[in-house]
Chains A and B, each alone.
Chain A
Amino acid sequence: MSSNNTSDENDVRAATALFQAEFPYERDQEAQVTRREFCNFLGLTSAALFVGAAGFAGKAALDARESEALAPAAIQGAEALAPNTSLNFNYPTERDSAILIRTADGAYHAYGQKCTHLSCPVYYSRNSQRLECPCHEGAFNVATGEVLFGPPPRPLDRIEVEMRDGQVWATGRNPSTREEEGRG
């Protein structure tokens, strides 16, 4: 170790010389973590991991019990959507992004935009005509929302759409579950 002290450090040492004589300790020792402190840190980490797991599970369980009736909403600009293109919108709330796809045959399909793997936003790939997740290369069938390949464990949440007076309306949301499919 070099003894290349800066002037500031020398000043501090000079100022604290009296205390150094009575309570001698080195600065290196101050930064040292004792085994007991490290053990306590691991204990806190364990508590945090437990609270995290419980919180996540609790939130998921609460979300599963919510069965609110969703109000229908018109999807602005959907009627002008060209075949084989997609449009992003928000449904059922402003915080829930969704994607509307008009397939080449003119049919409309809408899904929640969160990938069922780790919630990355999916996008419509016009070349392959499927919904793809860029994060972990998952893909979904555009007509059914089923998983084509990749890590997603369940289909996308389907949003019901219907035509009303020449406008496309989102009328409800069907969250898919793994149990429904009998997978896993």
Chain B
Amino acid sequence: MKTVTQHSVPDRRAKLGDAALWQARLIMLVMINIAQLWILAATVDAALARHYSVLLPLVIASGICFLITLSIIKWWRPTSRKKTSTGYVREDR
């Protein structure tokens, strides 16, 4: 049987870790959005300049950024996370 004190320390650590993960997630998402904004500007510039050869690589780059964003939002989870996707805490065995 675990005492309350023993429980609270790892719980606090887990919360801190969770906060750090969210922080990292947000920073990465913002950076990717900035990169995508730059790519959009370059696409507009290339289209107006009729520099067609760079259009496809730019769109592909933007698509890859979007996929990374999607993966960060949907699939990035801390490996040590005890909670399941439904919010229940897994029991230690």
Chain A residues with CB under 8 Å of chain B are 35, 38-40, 42-43, 45-47, 49-50, 52-54, 56-57, 59-61, 64, 116-119, 153-154, 175-179, 184
Contacts and interface: CB of A to CB of B under 8 A. Distances in A.
A38 B22 CA distance: 11
Contact of A178 (B39, B44, B50, B59): B50
B49 A43 contact: no
Given A46-B32, A154-B49, A35 B26 contact: yes
A42 B40 contact: no
Interface majority SS on B: helix, strand, loop or mixed?
helix
A50 B26 contact: no
B51 A35 contact: no
B59 A57 contact: yes
A157 B34 CA distance: 33
Contacts of A54: 59, 62-63
Nearest to A115: B48
Interface of B: 22, 25-26, 29-30, 32-33, 36-37, 39-40, 43-53, 55-56, 58-59, 62-63, 65-66, 69-70, 72-73
A42 B26 contact: yes
B26 A64 contact: no
A46 B33 contact: yes
B36 A46 contact: yes
Nearest to A176: B50
A176 B53 CA distance: 15
Contacts of B47: 56-57, 59-60
A50 B45 CA distance: 15
A100 B66 CA distance: 45
Q: Which of A38, A46, A52, A116 has the most CB of B within 10 A?
A: A46
